[in-house]
Each structure stands twice: as structure tokens, then as C-alpha cells.
Amino acid sequence: MAQPTGTFDSYDGVGNRESLSDIISNIAPTETPFRSSIKKGKAKATFEEWQQDDLATANADNAAVDGDDAGNASHTATVRVGNRTQIFTKVVQVSGTQEAVDKAGRKSELNYQTMKKGKEINRDIEAALLSNNASVEGNSSTARKLGGLESWIETNVSGGTGYADGGFGSGNVAAPTDGTQRALAESQLKSVMQDCFANGGTPDRLFLGPVNKGKFSAFTGIAETRHNVNSNKMATIIGAADVYVSDFGNIAVIPSRFHRERTGLVIDTSMAEVRTLRPMKRNKLAKTGDSEKRQLLTELTLCVKNEKAFGKIADLTTS
């Protein structure tokens, strides 16, 4: 039907008030499962060091002649490794007018933007800790960088054709070289878990990106449907798995948004630590005009106590 002639409608109105909700919706993920699950410690220098050691291979033929003299001693020195601290920072700058005007959803623009930047730094830290970044010593024109967990792991690895390990050496952690991608398979996880066990590790987490977490849930032995015993209720469809029971221990399978989809990380949370040199701080910067500036800053590094406790399934397909 047509509108009657002469009707004054909402399109003609000039003084209609706006309707703007006071709720600001932001669904960007902020979970940091790796950093949240490992130990926390204090850094004392921009290059944090620690030592690793190992025992001699078990020898079933360790037998001495009755009455023989003691032989010569044989010892191996500890291995000294380390990682660089990385400075994480964000800057907030809000004009005096924007801070003064009446706003929907927040009273102070400065506080709201500062809160956002804090969450962003936490996401950056999680991504750096799990990354394949090499460590960088840095200088007056180059930023220091920590070596990410993916770069540390070099013993218990399943990689595609052309893959090459990174690992610690010559004072820094080197980045791995990617190989040919292949689909995630249960045999790869079993192989890495076996290697971890053989080398003394007891991993308790498997971090996978969202695509490969879905592929993991299709491993053999995972039922798709379970019917409720009570026939009056709906059946439950189970299309995911959160724990993998292996011959070498049980591991929780964690979907991770902030590490490379092409890599599965088998993690012993007791053997990793975040060491903080400077805790998160909000610094008020000098006022240079009609605005307020704040800097959020923290400095920390990743301590991988012994990379043999970890495993990696590298070069996975990402779709």
C-alpha cells in the first residue's frame, strides 16, 4: 500500500534522536593458553642463560673384573644456553577533545584505548613465545628478539621433505627451515611422542591451529555419535577430541590461535618458563600538545629448560 498523501514520516523528521548502544562488542580472542600454563620467573639480564645436562646412555655391559683397579673417570660438561629478552610496547594517544566529549560505551577514551592495547600486547607475547623467530642480539638500531619455542625444538621432530632444524648455537637461537607440507597424521604424533619418551620428556599438551585441531579430531578411534541411555533425551554428537591417550602418556589437545597453523607443538609445560625483566607498566609520556600519551611496556624472554622435553610436527597443511 502507498503512504497517504501528507504523512510526515521518519524520513522527513530532522530532530529525531540517534539510538547508540552503550555496549561495545569485541570478540577478538584474548586467550593465551601457552603463557598461562607455564612457569613464571624473574629475568636479571637481557641475555638469560641456563644450563642443560644429560646422563650417559644406559649400558647393559657395565661389568667390572673381580679385584680390578678403578679405571679413569669420564665426564661431560653441562651445556650453557640462553635467550634474549624482547621489549613489547604499545602507545596510546588521545586528543583532549575526544577525552572531554560525551561518549557511548566508555567514559574515558584514554582508559578504554589503554585497556585495548594491553590485550593486544598479551596476544603479541603469546605469538612471540610460540613463534619460529630466531633470537636477535640487537644493537642501537636493531630490536632484541627472543627465540620462539618452535625454533628451539630440534630433537623430537617430524618434518616434511627439506625441513631443517633451528636450535641454539653460537649464542643465539636459529630459526628452522620449512619443508614440504603434508597432512596431519596420527603416525606423526605417535612418532614424536615416542621420541619425547625416549629422550626423557613427559609432554602434557599438544598445541594445534584451528584447521589441524579439526583434523586431529578425525583420528582413528574417535566415535562420531554417542546415544544417551535415556531414550527420552536427544543423542549427543561427539565430533571433537580434547585428550590423546598414547603409549607414552596422555596429552591435552589445545586449539591455539597465535602460533603457526603449519606446526603442531608437543609441550612439556614443566620445562618452559617466562622470565620477566620488566613487568607490564603504563608510562605517562611527555605532553607535547592537546593530547595525552601513554606507553605500555614490558620486557621478557622464554626459557626452554631442555628442548628434548618438547616435540614438533612440522610442515602441516593449513587447509
Residue range 160-173, pLDDT digits in tens: 999 999 999 989 99
Number of Cβ within a 10 Å radius of residue 146:
28
DSSP conformation letters of 35-87: HHHSEEEE--SSEEEEEE--PPPP-TT----TTPPP--------EEEEEE-EE
Q: Is the pLDDT of residue 235 over 60?
A: no
pLDDT at 223: 52
Residue range 270-292, pLDDT digits in tens: 999 999 999 999 999 999 999 99
Give the pLDDT band of residue 19 (cuts 50, 70, 90): confident
Residue range 66-82, pLDDT digits in tens: 999 998 988 999 999 99
pLDDT at 226: 53
CA–CA separation, 302 and 29 (whole Å): 22
Domain ranges of the chain: 33-50+80-313
Q: Is the pLDDT of residue 141 over 60?
A: yes
Cell numbers found for residue 128 = 612471540
Does residue 16 or residue 178 have the better pLDDT? 178
Does the predicted TM-score (pTM) go above 0.85? yes
pLDDT at 131: 98
pLDDT at 221: 63
CA–CA separation, 134 and 152 (whole Å): 9
